[in-house]
Amino acid sequence: MKMYLEGMSKRELIELIKGLMREMRQLKKELGYERSEKLSEMFKPAVPNDEAPKKPGAKEGHDGVTRPMPEKVDEKKKLFLRTCPQGHRLVKIKETRSRTVEDIELIRRLKIIEYELQGYYCKTCKKKVFPRVFDAMPHFRLGMNFCNYVCERKFAYRMSFNMIQKDLLKNFGLRVSQATLVNAIHAVASLLGKKYEAYKSLLREGRFVHIDETGWRVKGTNMWLWKFRSKDIVVTVIDKHRSHDVPERILGKKYKGSMIHDGFPAYNLLAGEHQQCWTHITRHSRNALKKYPDSKEVKKVHEALKRMYRDAKHTRKSKAARKRFEARMKYLLAKRHRNPDIIKLKSFMKAHFDELFVFVAKRIDGTNNAAEQSIRHDVVIRKISGGNRSDNGREDYAVLSSAMQTCQLRNEDFSELVMNELKSTANG
């Protein structure tokens, strides 16, 4: 065997090693080793014996917090006893006790309304006119409460169409098809189309915007879901591109506000002031520390970046403070480092030096956590539904996701928003 290997060329040895590796992977797959390795990665390692787990609950001496008593009582009931639990006769005393219970009323029923529309004739227009039903979309038999209920279950509670069907059947005795649910969602999305465009206009006029993107699938094709979030507006866009054209189309070519993002290269071509996300910067240094746990150099850089961001976050907003922290960063970047991950991180910060401390001079956030929190909702829905099955579904999702999350930021009721839009459309 030794003589056989010695007589082989370098290329033949490489091919032999590749073949042996393929056979080893196949054997592992047949024996189930790969599956066991993947399952072990899913679980966190157990707590070592020398490290006792933290005791759950509040610390000793912490004041307890109880549910506040309601200010209004809807119903009062008096309870009496004739005998004690052992069946003995009782004597009434002056002492009484009170107990307040908060409960919900499970009143769910299907309501069928038949409208009688009085007809009129307009001599000027020379045609018949009838009153408008405001509780339902035109040419749609199911009412607006049904449509709002379906939209909230789909987008706010992340329920699948199968679960919504079961929910309607169990709670209301209403049997509907998935096509009916899709039509209800499309009806509401069509109604909120103008509101969606208004959100975009307000976004362009805002003084800052958080941007993030994640993968999305439409009809089995890979696309991208973009999330734009300002103080009280959220705009969702699903597009096949992951280039600067998408945010440029939403914000405009002459956007004057500040953009907070994670440093994706597509954002570099956008007009406006940029703020790099400090969560991503410290995450890169933390990953380098995990990769090189014994490196004092990496640990010092990571601690310096964490301390710098903590100080910058709590300092008073001013241009002088920004210059002060930029001077601290220049001192850190001027030091010589040998670790390749730290050198890569330093080159990124040097290339975007003017975008590191914008938040110190302006009232904006130094991280992109707001956009990531908004996009997390879509990631959960993506795991449940896998994306959209049609282009109409993609557009409906963008509109309703924007409206739902904007209502949450503004503490508005989504159903009231839909009803107001329906009435304004009818009056217009």
41 pLDDT exceeds 70?
A: no
Q: Report the distance separating Cα 217 and Cα 344, nearest Å.
A: 32
Which DSSP string corresponds to 130-163?
----TTB-TT-SSBHHHHHHHHIIIIIS---HHH
Q: Is residue 294 part of a domain?
A: yes
Instruction: Tell me the mean pLDDT in the region 273-287.
Output: 95
- Residues 128-135: contacts with CB within 8 Å, 24+ apart? 132/426, 134/419, 134/422, 134/423, 134/426
Q: Is residue 315 part of a domain?
A: yes
What are the tens digits of pLDDT across the range 28-40? 777 665 555 554 5
pLDDT of residue 424: 76
- The H or E element containing residue 239 is strand 234-239
Give the tens place of pLDDT for each residue, 134-191: 777 777 788 888 988 999 999 888 899 999 999 999 888 889 999 999 999 999 999 9
- Does residue 368 form part of some domain? no
| Angle of the 178-191 helix axis to the 193-205 helix axis, nearest 10 | 50
Q: How many domains does the chain divide into?
A: 1
* Torsion sign, CA atoms 74, 80, 86, 87: negative
The answer to whether residue 161 sits within a structural domain is no
Host domain of residue 353: 278-361
Say if 288 falls within a structural domain. yes
pLDDT of residue 24: 83
Question: What percentage of residues in the chain have a pLDDT greater than 70?
Answer: 91
Q: 331 or 52: whose pLDDT is higher? A: 331
pTM, entire model? 0.76
pLDDT value at residue 39: 46
In a domain, 269, yes or no: no
Residue 306 lies in a domain: yes
State the pLDDT at residue 404: 93
Calculate mean pLDDT across residues 42-68.
68
Alpha-carbon gap, residue 113 to 107, rounded angstroms: 18
Side chain identity at residue 352, one-letter code: H
DSSP conformation class of 238: E
- Could you tell me what percentage of the chain is helix, strand and coil, using 3-state DSSP and rounding each to the nearest 5? 50, 10, 40
Q: Where are the alpha helices (DSSP H) in 315-413?
A: 319-334, 340-351, 358-361, 369-385, 391-410
Residue 356 inside a domain? The answer is yes
